[in-house]
Amino acid sequence: MNNKIAITAFSSISPLGNTTEGIWERYLDNQHCFSKQFLDQQETSVACLDTESKLIIAELRESDIKYKFLDDSVLFAIAASRKAVQQAGWNSDDIFGINIGSSRGATDLFEKHYSAYLNTGKAPTLASPTTTLGNISSWIAHDLQSNGPEISHSITCSTALHALLNGVAWLKSGMADKFLVGGSEAPLTDFTIAQMRALKIYSRIDQDDELWPNLAFDFEKTQNTMILGEGASVCCLESGEKENAIAYITGVGYATEILKHNISISAEATCFQKSMKMALKDVDLQSIDVIVMHAPGTIKGDLTELRAIEKVFGSQLPLLTTNKWKIGHTFGASGILSVELALLMLEHDTFIGVPFGTKQIQIKPIERVLINAVGFGGNAVSILIEKP
């Protein structure tokens, strides 16, 4: 990439909390964030927002009559965006673009409105405007009173990193100087859980009996262990070198592979190999210190990504990690929450590994981190970031 793209702020609201300090402290412990909810007619492990974050969302919902009728996915994104823009020092006079994506969008509202329609034969008045795909970015633009372009999209579980790709493209084209990018997801609903169970990828491990109900990064597991989580995360991107840069995006890659069926991925994840190679280009592979893997906790998903990494890096692998054993899979928001983990590891020069499997030892400073995401449809994205 010719001109630098700076990350000048990031913010999130997730099961880890909503403050950078608190999130880092949670990453340092070995406790997952899963709890039990009665979903899909049975007790189900999920990763919900922490108590303080739930209070923030409840207060935001009551702060404006218009916000009272919005889906959690929108409110999550507004809360995270407010904080990130404040950290970056942006104001309402700044012209900045917004691209916040979501795999499922207004999941809870859509299910409630459709259920009401089945019961009454009538749709609620606000059913359409509160469940459209553009619902998230447009409400953030309203809340922040921004003046730039607003973009929403859904590209399954790689959605947030595609938003980052879009932001980079806009900045490099010269059509914008600043872009707010990220993803938001609130998928902890009966129908969504039922869909994951139908695919036979949802964890059946009882967290009361087992220490790790999600075995993302266990490459010898004998059952799928994906657990869903909720949250939103965003990054402020700016073109050029910036004094307040917390990291620079120095490589982006993307690829899609030919499918054999709707959720397939090849044995060696060809799409990941291509996206990583594109992001790395002429970079010395030994200079990559950490890879934050997509690793959703499924047998095939985790192992095929590992095989792709081995194909690209050979026997000299960087440190490998994932956050899904801790906060679950947040669908469209997962990629940008992985970016958050990468940024925190760069800031603290501390590797956060997975507390099961072979222990990895950090032997040098963390300067460069590669982040992966992939979604249904075999669409992979890889992002390379490095310290200023």
Amino acid at 268: E
The low-confidence residues of the chain, meaning pLDDT below 70, are 1-2, 258-268
- Give CA torsion, residues 167, 169, 174, 175, to 10 deg: -60
C-alpha 167, offset from chain centre: 15
Q: What angle do CA 217, 219, 223 make, to 5 degrees?
A: 100
Phi/psi for 43 (5° steps) reads: -65, 135
Three-state secondary structure call for residue 64? coil
Q: What angle do CA 6, 375, 305 make, to 5 degrees?
A: 85
d(CA 58, CA 75): 9
Cα distances from 59 to residues 53, 54, 68, 232, 340, in angstroms, run 10, 9, 10, 17, 25
Q: Which pLDDT belongs to residue 2?
A: 47
Parallel, antiparallel or unpaired: strands 97-101 and 379-386: unpaired
d(CA 91, CA 66): 22
Cα distances from 282 to residues 180, 256, 262, in angstroms, run 28, 21, 34
Q: Which of 83, 8, 77 is nearest to 237 (CA)?
A: 8
Token output for 135: 């619902």
Domains, in order of start, for the chain = 5-239 (3.40.47.10), 250-386 (3.40.47.10)
Which conformational region is residue 346 in: left (phi greater than 0), alpha (psi within -120 to 50 degrees), or beta?
alpha
Q: Exposed/middle/buried for 41, CB within 10 Å: 0-12, 13-18, 19+?
A: exposed
Angle between helices 72-88 and 135-144 (to 10 degrees): 40
Q: Which pLDDT belongs to residue 266?
A: 60
Q: What angle do CA 213, 346, 33 make, to 5 degrees?
A: 20
Q: Count H helices, E strands: the chain?
A: 11, 12
Angle between helices 299-313 and 270-280 (to 10 degrees): 40
- First-to-last C-alpha distance (Å) of the chain: 15
